[in-house]
Amino acid sequence: MSLLQLHNVSRRFGALKALTDISIEVQPGELRAVIGPNGAGKTTLFNLISGFFPPSEGQITFDGRPIQTVNPGELVKRGIIRTFQITEIFRSLTVYENLRIAVEVAQGVNLRPWMGRALRKRIDDQVDELMHLVKISGKADRVTGEMSHGDQRVVEVGIALARRPKLLLLDEPTAGMGDEETHHMTALIRDLNKNQGIATLFVEHDMEIVFGIADRITVLDNGTLLAEGTADEIANNARVQAAYLGQAA
């Protein structure tokens, strides 16, 4: 059974058609890229999946249940976790503190005035696990606002992972990064998908990254589904070349 399914989904804003008749299926454990020119509908697609607004037509199903009218907070509880183009972290806090808050919120204990020793240890262990998972343990005491953009994005991914997502939505995860930071983030995305089994849907403009790690690629153009397939299929698709890849070259 597909983890995520969009069936004939459209979204209008007044007379503007942002998405028209989109049908996509994402399988458990799949790593899928979404590409397309500016204005193609990529952000609108993410907004629909994460519940920021409902589709005008069509149905969205996640984990076998319709979600097109479910609010974002409930979707987070069900396992759809999203990062945004603008990094969202507590810039005045350390890496450890950012991740600890995320774990406490995920566990529903952030408002407790007091925690027992066993609970504190469980929270600490989960924070350590997250830092190890995103490979940032050596910077646990760094104030995140003083770190590089790439490291901040890694912390943000760690915060997202505190919710133990079934589907991770990454919006331009390598935007604004240097080569080394890009390599780290790309390796992290691949590792989370392949070794942790987290289904991942990501928007990315760097075609080297897209064709290097994605299992499948979805191409949007002017709010419509232009093509989808493997990297080889997309690279050799004449319509994609004309609409997008040819422009990038």
- Tell me the C-alpha distance between 47 and 19, whole Å: 11
CA atoms within 13 A on the CB side of 160: 27
Continuous segment of H or E residues that includes residue 102? helix 95-107
Taking only the tens place, the pLDDT of each residue in 167-221 is 999 999 999 899 999 999 999 999 999 999 999 999 999 999 999 999 999 999 9
Domain boundaries, the chain: 1-27+46-70
| CA distance linking residue 91 with residue 175, whole number of Å | 19
Closest by CA to 75, choosing from 165, 156, 6, 1, is: 165
**pLDDT the model gives residue 126:** 95
Q: For residue 221, what are the contacts with CB-CB under 8 A and spacing of at least 6? A: 36, 37, 40, 243, 244
Cβ-proximal residues to 118 (8 Å cutoff; 6+ apart), any chain? none
Number of Cβ within 10 Å of residue 112's Cβ equals 11
What is the pLDDT, as a whole number, of residue 249? 38
Q: Which residues of the chain have pLDDT under 70?
A: 85-86, 111-114, 244-249
Residue ranges of alpha helices (H) inside 4-94 are 42-49, 72-78
- Amino acid occupying residue 123: I
Q: Are 89 and 105 in contact (CB under 8 A)?
A: no
What is the share, in percent, of the chain residues with pLDDT greater than 70?
95
112-127 pLDDT, tens per residue? 666 778 888 899 999 9
pTM: 0.90
Sign (positive/negative) of CA torsion 147, 31, 18, 55? Answer: negative
